[in-house]
Amino acid sequence: MCGIAGILKTGAGSVNADILERMADAMVHRGPDGDGNWISPGGEVGLAHRRLAIIDLSQQAAQPMSNITETLWLTYNGEIYNHVALRRELEAAGRAFRTDHSDTEVLIHGYLEWGIDGLLERLEGMFAFAIWDTDKNKLTIARDRIGIKPVYFTKSGGDFRFASEIKAILSDDAITRDVDAVAMNHFLSFMVAPAPLTMFKGIFKLPAAHIMEVDAKGEMSFRRYWDAVPGRGIDQAEIAGMTDSELEKFYTDGIRSRLEAAIEKRMMSDVPFGVFLSGGIDSSANVALMSQMTDRPVETFTVGFKDHQHLNELQYANRIAEQFKTNHHEVLIDEDDMIGYLDDLVHQQDEPIADWVCIPLYFVSKLARDSGVTVVQVGEGSDEQFCGYDSYMTYLKTYRNFWNGYTAVVPGFLRRIIGAIAGILPRGLDKVSEVLSRAGVDGELFWSGANAFWNVHKRRLLNNTVATDSPGLEELSAAGLDMTGISGPDSGGVISGYLDPFDEKHPRRDRLTRMIHSEMRLRLPELLLMRVDKIGMSTSIEARVPFLDHKLVEFTMDIPQSWKLRGGETKHLLKKALGDLLGDDILYRPKMGFAAPMAEWLRGGFGEKAERGVLNSKLMERGILNRNHIAALFREHREGERDNALHLWTLFNLTSWYDHWIAD
């Protein structure tokens, strides 16, 4: 894992070496083991790299790296798990390698041998990389299929710039800083800005599974090279005619074999590795399967809370650690630890990620790094694929008991009238109001498994009309990036922008499959995986995500809702697939989730700090937010009238970010 950055001059002049170096230095935490930069002889392009050495620790594997004739230069962040097999294929084609086993050099020869599309089709891994091709005078940037690794870009003052983190782009004071009002509107709903938006006006992120090409004039083009859709993982002819018992075995065997392969591939490392262990199904599966593949104890890491035992999963983590004889490490944190970390959190995130899981994630990441481990496996992606969330069950029940019939029977014009009237219902009927409003605009009921403010909430929260214009979106759309729903005032339009094309290509798919597809487009790549990347990398930890191996994702996308929720049981097939490894006390215990006692903290000393910070924020001075309503949210929560923790934490993240990155 590393940090990458670069500058392409699209006007007069040459790349400023000092700016390029500052961009890399802003990400030293992503690569404490070394750095490098390269500027082309003509000065038109510069690439920079910070190295966290994990595969091929030799200096020969340092970056930026070129081919032997120096017509191709690469800076790359990530891991290619099948690089050994690809190297053999390339050597058989006559390609000569200079490194011993660097996956970076595989990318260079793969690009030259197969082109960018052929290379990406073959890659198994997580990555964001940039290639400067001197023969074509073109910069090519790619992000992995799932979006595990980020890359950001901007055009400013005759330059095109990109980096693994926004703070690298902002290391040049000439880059203007302001909030993107469209992104902020969507952030309030999704707890993160949907790609390609960021919270910084004029700075964008490349969506997952996309290729971006930039020519010497700065003209951009985009295309998607993969998507999480049905039809890739299972040959339907193969399962036609199977009995239920045969079909269940086919599904569970397929899940187990692909998960085993994914975990084994992600054990590839020249440095120590381990697992973040909560004692839930997903992390326990990582430990159980990894322990079968190594002859030494697995390093496991768990975080708990000193004063909130009801949220701790330590006993389950210890139970798994004991069963599989791991080398287990624990850290306990409290409110003071959290408060002491907040300033660093705002800086590490670059743009706000309103998920309080970032707090325990930081402390368990630091524990791993302090214990000498550099690489960990995590469980993200399992709940989405196998329906592990209670919120999913609630949405599916609402579809079944109300939405399907209501939208089918009630004419659209009448639903619009009802939806408009519902918008003025009293606050105690917010859920009813929101559901009827979404149905009234032919929107989607399910937006995300992580929703902060609904539209009905934002009508009270925001003083001004929601902005619908974000500078640069028109250029991105003209360059081939799908912007459907991004610039609309209704955040539900973002989800419709994902699902309308999905429905055209994959009609009559069940509700759960549609929900998973939208989660794969927004919540996973931009919220869950970015919290893992940004927080993990802030401690120089590389996190690997076996449940999001694209071959496993393709397989599970072809499994219908009826099997994922057999008998109404969440994660039915995954539990069956792991039944010989994990006991019923792990498989069938109530889901707790990786959480933090934020509701309690917001009723104590932190609540007072958060209220002062939000109400005195420079963002409040812009008149965008309703001060009286926010003060009421804090009072209600403090006095126990309502649980407003998610709203308050989202607002605290937003205003803290603004004061740190924009106002200062």
Q: What residues are annotated to the active site?
A: 2
Among 655, 3, 608, 664, smallest CA distance to 352 is for 655
Dihedral sign from CA coordinates of 594, 597, 602, 607: negative
Q: What is the secondary structure of 395-460 as a DSSP string?
A: HHHHIIIIIHHHHHHS-HHHHHHHHHHHTTS-GGGHHHHHHHHHHHTT--S---S-----HHHHHH
Whether 264 and 271 have beta carbons less than 8 Å apart is answered as no
Residues in contact with 340: Cβ distance below 8 Å, sequence separation at least 6, in sequence order: none
Q: Strand 72-80 to strand 138-143: parallel, antiparallel, or no bridges (unpaired)? A: unpaired
> SS3 for 218?
coil
Phi, psi of 223 (to 5 degrees): -155, 145
For the chain, the C-alpha Rg in angstroms (whole number) is: 24
> How many CA atoms within 13 Å lie on the side-chain side of 176?
9
As a whole number of angstroms, the distance between CA 49 and CA 35 comes to 5
Q: What is the secondary structure of 502-516 as a DSSP string?
A: HHHHSTT--HHHHHH
CA distances from residue 93 to 82, 109, 113, 116, 135 in whole angstroms, order as listed: 17, 10, 8, 17, 21
The b-or-e profile of 214-223 (16+ CB within 10 A means b, else e) is: beeebebebe
As a whole number of angstroms, the distance between CA 484 and CA 194 comes to 12
Give the DSSP H/E element, type plus range, for residue 370: helix 358-370
Residues in contact with 558: Cβ distance below 8 Å, sequence separation at least 6, in sequence order: 230, 231, 232, 233, 234, 236
Among 619, 622, 625, 623, smallest CA distance to 660 is for 619
> SS3 for 190?
helix
As a whole number of angstroms, the distance between CA 560 and CA 581 comes to 25
Whether 507 and 458 have beta carbons less than 8 Å apart is answered as no
504: exposed, middle or buried (Cβ count in 10 Å: 0-12, 13-18, 19+): exposed
CA distances from residue 559 to 306, 373, 613 in whole angstroms, order as listed: 41, 36, 47
CA distances from residue 152 to 158, 164, 316, 346, 499 in whole angstroms, order as listed: 17, 6, 39, 18, 25
As a whole number of angstroms, the distance between CA 139 and CA 132 comes to 5
Quote the strand ranges of 474-596, DSSP E.
Answer: 542-544
Whether 54 and 81 have beta carbons less than 8 Å apart is answered as no
For residue 380 the two structure tokens come to: 């993200």
As a whole number of angstroms, the distance between CA 67 and CA 111 comes to 11
Whether 11 and 156 have beta carbons less than 8 Å apart is answered as no
Residue 466 φ/ψ region, left for φ over 0, alpha for ψ in the -120 to 50 degree band, beta for the rest:
beta
Q: What is the secondary structure of 54-100 as a DSSP string?
A: -S--SGGG-SSEE-TTSSEEEEEEEEETTHHHHHHHHHHTTPPPSSS
